[in-house]
């Protein structure tokens, strides 16, 4: 199969086949309007009837379009798709996204096999069918969701690949809430031609992508083994969220995208053996992607904790223990180093074990002193910061100042800060300096768990 995916993910010219002359909310019209108004691509509407949409000429066929098309979005009825694919090939278009449903997922395997055979013979890459397609920040978007309905993440270094369009959009919304940026997002639907293994090969070489995340419902015969081998050799972290774990889940997968769910227990064990990070749910997927997008080194899991609340320190220790992360006691030299640097007002009341409980009277400089002590300890390979911004001595600059503590060290640092708008400046101080922030202690611990389980990069 053609391995040049540049027309798929970096098109300069596009066409949308299936636009309606009478229904402005038709999926093809939604896609065309977004591309035309929001993105730096030249886009052409296509409908066999011709005519006009507002000021734009509607072309009767791809052959009438005055430019060669890099990427064709097909949103027509399934029975018309084979002839449209043939027209794409004849016009030397570069690629396509087949939004249309009505293929293997609804019993029409023959129709799906037909378009796949045509495309494979011609070396013509397409995504789908039965999918949302592709979203590349600042470049283009084939999702048939109105622009005002979808929250879009900023450009970043995480790639998301999903069989389910709904799961993909839900993850994108959650990524925005966590401040995680995307290099691209792909809904592959029935994955008739381009599958996870093809995208894994491409993304492993993509300079804009540093973390690759998959939502997978199933594989074809022997495909799971190939995927694991590619992920094991990939120079970038690979995160997998697998659906179809239960017997009922497997049946649901089959009716959704006509995939084979496979034996989940075996697949999960193989992922762990090869250092591929499996997310058990969407919540873990978010934490894992955020952490791995900031840090590339693996850790053994020797966690130093700093808090202003004894209760939060206990919760953090419990969460670490549940994930087999250790919270070792600090040696006396480290404790004394921290003690000497603390404010006189808290020097005698702070608990300098691990967790380091600075109490609610702590100021910014006390956090800096504790963080410097932990990152300099040979017993600690990661730091968890539990910040309650309601403490009167904490300023909005603390996130940035703590991030700088680790600038010349090789110790990953994560933070828990309640995600409330009034604390946004504090949170941004971390995120702008590539320190991931979770809105829960459990989420912060999961960020460290990802670094412990990930293969070295």
DSSP labels, 350-412: -EESSSEE--TT--HHHHHHHHHHHHT-TT-SEEEEE--TTSTT--TTHHHHHHHHTTTS---
Which residues, 6+ apart, have CB-to-CB distance to 347 below 8 Å? 339
Q: Where are the alpha helices (DSSP H) in 274-309?
A: 282-294
Give the 3-state secondary structure percentages of the chain, helix then strand then coil, rounded to 5. Answer: 40, 20, 40
Residue 85 lies in a domain: yes
Domain boundary among 266, 294, 322: 294
Domain assignment present for residue 143? The answer is no
Which residue, 276, 294, 312, sits at the end of a domain? 294
Average pLDDT along the chain, 457 residues, taken 10 residues at a time: 83 98 94 94 97 94 97 97 98 97 95 97 96 96 84 91 95 91 96 96 96 94 92 94 65 44 77 89 94 92 96 97 96 96 94 96 96 95 93 92 85 90 89 93 96 70
Residue 137 is assigned to a structural domain of this protein: no
Element (H, E) at 145: none
Question: Does residue 270 share a domain with residue 241?
Answer: yes
Q: Is 113 helix (H, G, I), strand (E, B) or coil?
A: helix
* Whether residues 318 and 447 fall in one domain: yes
Among candidate residues 178, 252, 165, the one with its CA nearest the CA of residue 215: 165
- Of 217, 199, 192, 99, nearest to 159 by C-alpha is 199
CATH number reported for the structural domain that contains residue 288 in this entry: 3.40.50.261
Please report whether residue 277 resides in a domain.
yes
Q: Do both 82 and 217 map to the same domain?
A: no
If you write DSSP's letter for every residue of 197-243 in order, what string do you get? HHHHHHHHH-TT-SEEEEEE----TTHHHHHHHHHHH-SS-EEEEE-
Asked whether residue 142 is assigned to any structural domain, the reply reads: no
Q: Which two tokens stand for residue 434?
A: 């590539």
Residues 118 and 209 in one domain: no
- Number of CB atoms found within 10 A of residue 396's CB: 16
Statement to judge: residues 229 and 303 lie in one domain: no
In a domain, 140, yes or no: no
Q: How far apart are the first and last CA of the chain?
A: 28
pLDDT in tens, 374-398: 999 999 999 999 998 888 899 999 9
Taking the CA atoms of 117, 123, 124 and 128 in sequence, report the sign of the dihedral they define.
positive
Q: Are residues 173 and 248 in the same domain?
A: yes
264, 294, 324 - which closes a domain: 294
User: Does 134 fall in a domain?
Assistant: no
- Same domain assignment for residues 282 and 163: yes
Same domain, 124 and 179: no
- 302 and 286 in a single domain? The answer is no
Q: Tens digit of pLDDT for each residue in 320-338?
A: 999 999 999 999 999 999 9
Residues 360 and 322 in one domain: yes
In terms of domains, do 210 and 263 share one?
yes
pLDDT of residue 246: 46
Q: Indicate the number of domains in the chain.
A: 3
On whether residue 35 sits in a domain, the answer given is: yes
Do residue 213 and residue 264 come from a single domain?
yes
Separation between Cα atoms, residue 244 and residue 247, nearest integer Å: 7
Angle, nearest 10°, between helix axes 364-375 and 332-341? 160
Predicted confidence at residue 251, as pLDDT, reads 46
Cα distance between residue 332 and residue 349, in whole Å: 17
Q: Chain centroid to CA 331: how far?
A: 39
Domain range for 373:
298-453
- What CATH number does residue 109 fall under? 3.40.50.720
């Amino acid at each position: 199969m053609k391995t040049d995916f540049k027309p798929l993910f970096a098109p300069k010219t596009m066409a949308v086949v299936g636009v309606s002359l009478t229904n402005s909310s038709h999926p093809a019209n939604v896609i065309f309007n977004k591309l035309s108004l929001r993105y730096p691509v030249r886009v052409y509407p296509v409908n066999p009837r011709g005519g006009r949409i507002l000021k734009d000429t509607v072309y009767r066929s791809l052959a009438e379009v005055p430019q060669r098309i890099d990427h064709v979005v097909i949103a027509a009825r399934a029975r018309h798709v084979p002839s449209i694919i043939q027209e794409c090939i004849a016009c030397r278009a570069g690629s396509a996204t087949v939004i249309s449903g009505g293929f293997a997922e609804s019993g029409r395997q023959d129709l799906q096999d037909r378009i796949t055979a045509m495309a494979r013979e011609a070396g013509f890459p397409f995504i789908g069918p039965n999918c949302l397609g592709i979203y590349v920040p600042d470049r283009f978007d084939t999702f048939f969701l109105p622009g005002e309905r979808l929250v879009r993440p900023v450009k970043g270094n995480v790639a998301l690949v999903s069989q389910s369009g709904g799961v993909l959009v839900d993850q994108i919304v959650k990524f925005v809430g966590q401040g995680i940026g995307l290099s691209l997002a792909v809904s592959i639907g029935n994955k008739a031609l381009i599958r996870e293994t093809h995208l894994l090969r491409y993304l492993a070489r993509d300079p804009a992508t540093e973390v690759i995340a998959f939502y997978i419902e199933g594989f074809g015969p022997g495909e799971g083994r190939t995927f694991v081998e590619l992920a094991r050799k990939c120079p970038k972290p690979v995160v997998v969220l697998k659906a179809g774990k239960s017997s009922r889940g497997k049946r649901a997968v089959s009716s959704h995208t006509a995939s084979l769910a496979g034996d989940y227990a075996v697949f999960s064990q193989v992922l762990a053996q090869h250092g591929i990070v499996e997310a058990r749910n969407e919540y873990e997927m978010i934490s894992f992607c955020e952490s791995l997008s900031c840090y590339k080194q693996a850790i053994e899991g020797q966690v130093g904790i700093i808090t202003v609340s004894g209760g939060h320190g206990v919760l953090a220790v419990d969460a670490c223990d549940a994930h087999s992360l250790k919270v070792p006691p600090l040696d006396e030299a480290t404790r004394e180093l921290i003690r000497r640097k603390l404010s006189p007002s808290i020097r005698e009341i702070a608990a300098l074990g691990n967790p380091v409980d600075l109490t609610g009277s702590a100021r910014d400089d006390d956090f800096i002193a504790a963080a410097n002590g932990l990152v300099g300890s040979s017993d600690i390979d990661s730091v968890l910061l539990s910040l309650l911004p309601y403490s009167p001595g904490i300023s909005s600059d603390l996130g940035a100042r703590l991030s700088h503590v680790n600038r010349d060290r090789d110790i990953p640092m994560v933070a828990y800060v309640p995600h409330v708008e009034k604390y946004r400046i504090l949170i941004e101080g971390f995120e702008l300096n590539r320190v991931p922030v979770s809105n829960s202690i459990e989420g912060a611990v999961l960020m460290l768990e990802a670094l412990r389980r990930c293969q070295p990069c």
